[in-house]
Amino acid sequence: MSPVSPVSPVSTEALLPRPTRRAVLGCAAGAAAILSACGGDRDASTPTVEADGAVRVPLADTPVGGSTYYPGASARIVVTQPSEGRWLAYDATCTHEGCMTSATDDDGNLVCPCHGSVFDPASGEPVAGPAQEPLATLAVEVDGEDLLIRG
Ligand code: FES
């Protein structure tokens, strides 16, 4: 498959459903930004959206054992790399009451700041807190130095 030229920024409403509640973000997205990113103390890039709706992010944003959050007005994504070369992406919308999972604890787990739900970065399954359902898994494809994410 030949790469498609990125178009940025555009809405990613087709990728993910709109959250039902306003998120409390652990990392701030600019008011005018459709998508932005935060990865702890790393400088995460701003994702782009392909013509087919796939979200493109650099692999370099997310180190082994790390996670990178891409909060957006209509798409909330977290990318993890629980082991070398194993890339995963989830809808970062917490399955408890819809806040954005937006922090990573010392064990590498994904944390929702609203009520403390904690999710496994390798499966999206809840490991603590009130959430009972896993984060929704998104399809990922490595494309060169980037990851393409589709809902
Ligand atoms: S909304 Fe995430 S723990 Fe309640």
Q: Which atom in ligand 1 lies closest to the alpha carbon of residue 99?
A: 1
CB atoms near residue 71 (< 10 Å): 23
Q: How many domains does the chain have?
A: 1
User: Is residue 129 lining ligand 1, measured as CB closer than 6 Å?
Assistant: yes
SS (H, E, C) 109-121: CEECCCCCCEECC
Domain-located, residue 61:
yes
Domain-located, residue 57:
yes
Q: Would you place residue 31 in the very low, low, confident or very high pLDDT band (cuts 50, 70, 90)?
A: very low
**Which pLDDT score is estimated for 55?**
93
| Residue numbers of the domain that contains 146 | 48-150
Q: Tell me the percentage of the chain whose pLDDT exceeds 70.
A: 70
Mean pLDDT in residue range 34-54? 70
DSSP label of 98: S
- 86-100: pLDDT as tens digits: 999 999 999 999 999
Compute and round to an integer the Cα radius of gyration of the chain. 14
Domain-located, residue 72:
yes
- 101-110: pLDDT as tens digits: 999 999 999 9
- Cα(99) to ligand 1 centroid in Å equals 6
Q: Would you place residue 60 in the very low, low, confident or very high pLDDT band (cuts 50, 70, 90)?
A: very high
Domain-located, residue 42:
no
Residue of higher predicted confidence among 15 and 136: 136
Domain-located, residue 63:
yes
Tell me the average pLDDT of the chain: 78
Q: What is the CATH number of the domain that holds 73?
A: 2.102.10.10
User: Is residue 56 lining ligand 1, measured as CB closer than 6 Å?
Assistant: no
Nearest Cα residue to atom 3 of ligand 1: 115
Domain-located, residue 17:
no
- Cα(52) to ligand 1 centroid in Å equals 31
